[in-house]
């Protein structure tokens, strides 16, 4: 069958998947390209309703204002996926690709069922040529599977599959989308592939300098995304590994990171020791990389990257063991306040947040847990639902800490830096402890107030006789 439209309509864009990536990215494209019509669809009707309401489904600084400017003008949110596919020739796919929980590759490989379902849905509903763009992070060669599914029926429609991974970080998504370090677009190195790629370059070139838009072959593009995240996570695991050594040697990890980071070959970013990295990407992407390496028989390479994830788990368990040792080898019956549940500041997202692990371990040790967070309490309730033990949720940090034996700082929210710790100390059980999993508090000041203070990778400050 020859299609009624065999030229791609470049001004209508669809995005399948209205999550942390799809929503903000499409809002930015709509804002920067007012002559394009951008539609975002999702199977989750509640999520779409929220995108169409005053209460957006995700918290991201600057997102509300951005969406308010473009929604109803040239940005639309809808549940009509089939109609969206029919009416749009440029289709971004940003559905979730979580780690598989079952069968071959469980715990390691990406679960591609949502992705494949989307590919089939695109095929079934297409009546014109399409450019399909992978936005979700995917294992290398996923585009090939996508191409094979899309081209499985000789219906005269051509599909070009591109890779355009998103590098935005949550909490700074709007800034990152507006000023990205680079835009990466991978395609087949064929005439058609290059032409499809150019239609996407045209979109980004509206606000991003050309020299920051790089085009590559499609496999390099897919792999670059995994490798970028693996390198970032590796820096955190490296400094976290050193934090353990600092705690044994009276070195201070912040001073070490500063000295090391001033080497311009190394750079200062992503060297903040912490209770561990979280977020939907780092662990998942590294495990993906590890799985890929094992698949190709590269055991040593797989082990190398696996160790980045292992150190992250070690750092979280070490945090619990430090709490336990400091608090006289038992946490049972003690009330512990968790400051911050989001995986990082300025987001309500809790996916893979170290706070989940810490809260669960504290409950296993029969501690009572009070959780405070300015944006993530709804997600915290979901993450910890069904957990046995005493669990309380309080948005107000003063209320949360009152009567507690210890505070564990899990998220680097600014508000925790400026609280009245004298007031907090007065209302806590004594001796009072602070375990600063983000090294954001003024440790000397907290110590002077009366707290026993345990930072990451620095000598502890305690009022106990040694
Ligand atoms: C990451 C990548 O940065 C982004 O490019 C990619 O698109 C998605 O994955 P994100 O997970 O949103 O973004 O946040 P990021 O700022 O990278 O932080 C990840 C985790 O590392 C957080 O838990 C953060 O608190 C932690 N972190 C970060 C540290 O513990 N120390 C640091 O020095 C930096
Ligand atoms: P990310 O952080 O990568 O954006 P999210 O989980 O926030 O991931 O968003 C992915 C979105 O994709 C979710 O809103 C989910 O409902 C949606 N989704 C998953 N499968 C499909 C599908 N087959 N069709 C449409 N949307 C889908």
Domain boundary (208, 240, 258) is at 208
Q: Token match 């561990």: residue?
A: 276
CA angle 423, 429, 431 (to 5 degrees): 100
Judge whether 116 and 149 are in contact, CB under 8 Å: yes
Evaluate: CB of 42 within 6 angstroms of ligand 2.
Answer: yes
Rounded mean pLDDT, 370-388? 96
Q: Token match 């990205």: residue?
A: 180
Distance CA 211, CA 214 (A): 7
Rounded mean pLDDT, 384-398? 95
Q: Both 247 and 376 in a single domain?
A: yes
Q: How confident is the model at residue 21 (pLDDT cuts 50, 70, 90)?
A: very high
* 3-state secondary structure (DSSP) of residue 34: coil
Q: Both 175 and 288 in a single domain?
A: no
Reading the block at residue 312, the tokens are 């992250």
Q: Both 151 and 271 in a single domain?
A: no
Evaluate: CB of 416 within 6 angstroms of ligand 2.
Answer: no
Q: How confident is the model at residue 106 (pLDDT cuts 50, 70, 90)?
A: confident
Residue nearest to atom 7 of ligand 2 (CA): 19
**Quick one: which atom of ligand 1 is closest to the CA of 280?**
11
Rounded mean pLDDT, 395-414? 98
Q: How far is the CA of 166 from the centre of ligand 1 (A)?
A: 13
In a domain? residue 5: no
pLDDT of residue 306: 98
Q: What order of strands is seen across the sheet that includes strand 159-163? A: 75-78, 37-41, 12-16, 90-93, 130-134, 159-163, 183-187, 213-217
Q: Is residue 255 pLDDT above 70, yes or no?
A: yes
Q: Is residue 103 pLDDT above 90, yes or no?
A: no
Q: How confident is the model at residue 2 (pLDDT cuts 50, 70, 90)?
A: very low
308-328 as b/e: b if 16+ CB within 10 A: bbebbebbbebbbebbbebbe
Judge whether 115 and 138 are in contact, CB under 8 Å: yes
Q: Which of 61, 233, 282, 347 to mutate to test the pocket of ligand 1 (most atoms within 8 A of CB)?
A: 282
Q: Is residue 44 pLDDT above 90, yes or no?
A: yes
Q: Is residue 3 pLDDT above 60, yes or no?
A: no
Q: Both 167 and 287 in a single domain?
A: no
Ligand whose nearest atom lies closest to the CA of 135: 2
Domain boundary (208, 241, 269) is at 208
Lowest mean pLDDT among 90-104, 203-217, 399-413: 90-104
Helices 299-326 and 282-295: crossing angle, nearest 10°?
140
116-154: per-residue pLDDT in tens? 889 999 999 999 999 999 987 776 777 888 888 888 887
In a domain? residue 192: yes
Q: Token match 């495990």: residue?
A: 287
Judge whether 400 and 337 are in contact, CB under 8 Å: yes
Q: Is residue 6 pLDDT above 70, yes or no?
A: no
Handedness of CA 285, 408, 344, 443 (dihedral sign): negative
Q: Both 428 and 289 in a single domain?
A: yes
Q: Token match 């929604």: residue?
A: 71
Evaluate: CB of 229 within 6 angstroms of ligand 1.
Answer: yes
Q: Is residue 284 pLDDT above 50, yes or no?
A: yes
Give me the CATH number covering residue 229.
Answer: 3.40.50.720
Q: Is residue 431 pLDDT above 50, yes or no?
A: yes
Evaluate: CB of 25 within 6 angstroms of ligand 2.
Answer: no
Q: Both 381 and 461 in a single domain?
A: yes
Q: How far is the CA of 172 from the centre of ligand 1 (A)?
A: 10
Q: Both 129 and 275 in a single domain?
A: no
210 Cβ contact list (under 8 Å, min separation 6): none
pLDDT of residue 1: 40
Q: Is residue 389 pLDDT above 60, yes or no?
A: yes
Q: Both 203 and 223 in a single domain?
A: no
Q: Is residue 79 pLDDT above 70, yes or no?
A: yes
Give the residue among 436, 420, 427 at the shortest CA–CA distance from 405.
427
In a domain? residue 3: no
In a domain? residue 443: yes
In a domain? residue 4: no
180-205: per-residue pLDDT in tens? 999 999 999 999 999 999 999 999 99
Rounded mean pLDDT, 105-115? 77
Q: Is residue 178 pLDDT above 80, yes or no?
A: yes
| 392 φ, ψ (degrees, to nearest 5) | -135, 150
Length of the chain: 466
pLDDT of residue 7: 59
Q: Is residue 382 pLDDT above 50, yes or no?
A: yes
Q: Is residue 458 pLDDT above 70, yes or no?
A: yes
Q: Give the number of domains in the chain.
A: 2
Give the residue among 119, 117, 115, 141 at the shortest CA–CA distance from 130.
119
Evaluate: CB of 344 within 6 angstroms of ligand 1.
Answer: yes
β-bridge mates for residue 435, sequence order: 408, 454
Distance CA 408, CA 386 (A): 22
The alpha carbon of 328 is separated from its chain's Cα centroid by a whole number of angstroms, namely 36
Q: How far is the CA of 19 from the centre of ligand 2 (A)?
A: 6
Give the residue among 146, 139, 408, 168 at the shortest CA–CA distance from 279.
168
| pTM confidence score | 0.94
Q: How confident is the model at residue 403 (pLDDT cuts 50, 70, 90)?
A: very high
Q: Is residue 375 pLDDT above 70, yes or no?
A: yes
Q: How confident is the model at residue 155 (pLDDT cuts 50, 70, 90)?
A: confident
* 3-state secondary structure (DSSP) of residue 40: strand
In a domain? residue 7: no
| Chain mean pLDDT for the chain | 94
Q: Both 249 and 199 in a single domain?
A: no
CA distances from 104 to 115, 155, 283, 400 (A): 17, 33, 18, 43
Q: Is residue 352 pLDDT above 90, yes or no?
A: yes
Q: Is residue 61 pLDDT above 60, yes or no?
A: yes
Q: Both 99 and 151 in a single domain?
A: yes
Q: Both 246 and 275 in a single domain?
A: yes
Domain range for residue 379?
218-466
- DSSP E strands: which ranges in 139-282? 159-163, 183-187, 213-217
Evaluate: CB of 232 within 6 angstroms of ligand 1.
Answer: yes
281 has catalytic annotation: yes
Rounded mean pLDDT, 368-397? 96
The alpha carbon of 340 is separated from its chain's Cα centroid by a whole number of angstroms, namely 16
In a domain? residue 6: no
* 3-state secondary structure (DSSP) of residue 183: strand
| 403 φ, ψ (degrees, to nearest 5) | 80, 0
Q: Name the active-site residue from 15, 246, 281, 293.
A: 281
In a domain? residue 298: yes
Residue nearest to atom 17 of ligand 1 (CA): 169
Q: How far is the CA of 279 from the centre of ligand 1 (A)?
A: 7
pLDDT of residue 111: 77
Q: Is residue 358 pLDDT above 50, yes or no?
A: yes
Q: Both 188 and 321 in a single domain?
A: no
Reading the block at residue 276, the tokens are 């561990």
Domain boundary (152, 175, 208) is at 208
Evaluate: CB of 274 within 6 angstroms of ligand 1.
Answer: yes
User: DSSP class of residue 415?
Assistant: G
Q: How far is the CA of 277 from the centre of ligand 1 (A)?
A: 7
């Amino acid at each position: 069958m020859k299609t009624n439209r065999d030229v791609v309509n470049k001004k209508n864009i669809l995005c399948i998947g209205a999550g942390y990536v799809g929503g903000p990215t499409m809002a930015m494209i709509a804002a920067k390209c007012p002559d394009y019509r951008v539609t975002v669809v999702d199977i989750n009707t509640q999520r779409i309703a929220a995108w169409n309401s005053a209460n957006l489904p995700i918290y991201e600084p600057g997102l509300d204002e951005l969406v308010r400017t473009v929604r109803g003008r040239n940005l639309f949110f809808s549940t009509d996926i089939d109609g969206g596919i029919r009416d749009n020739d440029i289709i971004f796919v940003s559905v979730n690709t979580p780690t598989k929980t079952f069968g071959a590759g469980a715990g390691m490989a990406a679960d591609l069922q949502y992705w494949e379902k989307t590919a089939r849905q695109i095929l079934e509903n297409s009546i014109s040529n399409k450019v399909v763009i992978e936005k979700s992070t995917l294992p290398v060669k996923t585009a090939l599977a996508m191409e094979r599914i899309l081209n499985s029926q000789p219906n005269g429609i051509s599909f070009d599959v591109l890779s355009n991974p998103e590098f935005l970080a949550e909490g700074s998504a709007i800034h990152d989308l507006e000023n990205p370090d680079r835009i990466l677009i991978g395609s087949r190195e064929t005439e058609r592939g290059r032409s499809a790629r150019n239609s996407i370059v045209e979109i980004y070139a509206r606000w991003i300098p050309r020299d920051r838009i790089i085009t590559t072959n499609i496999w390099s593009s897919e792999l670059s995304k995994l490798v970028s995240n693996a390198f970032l996570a590796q820096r955190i695991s490296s400094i976290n590994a050193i934090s353990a050594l600092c705690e044994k040697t009276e070195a201070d990890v912040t001073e070490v990171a500063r000295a090391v980071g001033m080497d311009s070959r190394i750079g200062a970013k992503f060297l903040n020791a912490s209770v561990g990295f979280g977020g939907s990407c780092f662990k998942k992407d590294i495990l993906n990389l590890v799985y890929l390496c094992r698949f190709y028989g590269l055991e040593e390479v797989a082990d190398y990257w696996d160790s980045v994830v292992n150190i992250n788990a070690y750092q979280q368990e070490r945090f619990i063991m430090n709490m336990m040792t400091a608090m006289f080898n038992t946490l049972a019956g003690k009330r512990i306040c968790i400051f911050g549940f989001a995986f990082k500041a300025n987001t309500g997202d809790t996916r893979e947040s170290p706070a989940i692990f810490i809260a669960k371990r504290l409950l296993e040790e029969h501690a009572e847990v009070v959780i405070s967070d300015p944006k993530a309490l709804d997600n915290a309730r979901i993450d910890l639902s069904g957990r046995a033990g005493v669990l309380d949720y309080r948005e107000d940090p003063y209320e949360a800490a009152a009567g507690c034996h210890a505070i564990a700082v899990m998220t680097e929210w600014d508000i925790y830096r400026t609280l009245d710790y004298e007031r907090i100390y007065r209302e806590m059980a004594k001796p009072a402890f602070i375990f600063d999993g983000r090294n954001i508090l003024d440790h000397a000041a907290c110590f002077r107030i009366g707290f026993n203070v345990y930072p990451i990778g620095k000598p502890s400050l305690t009022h106990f006789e040694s």
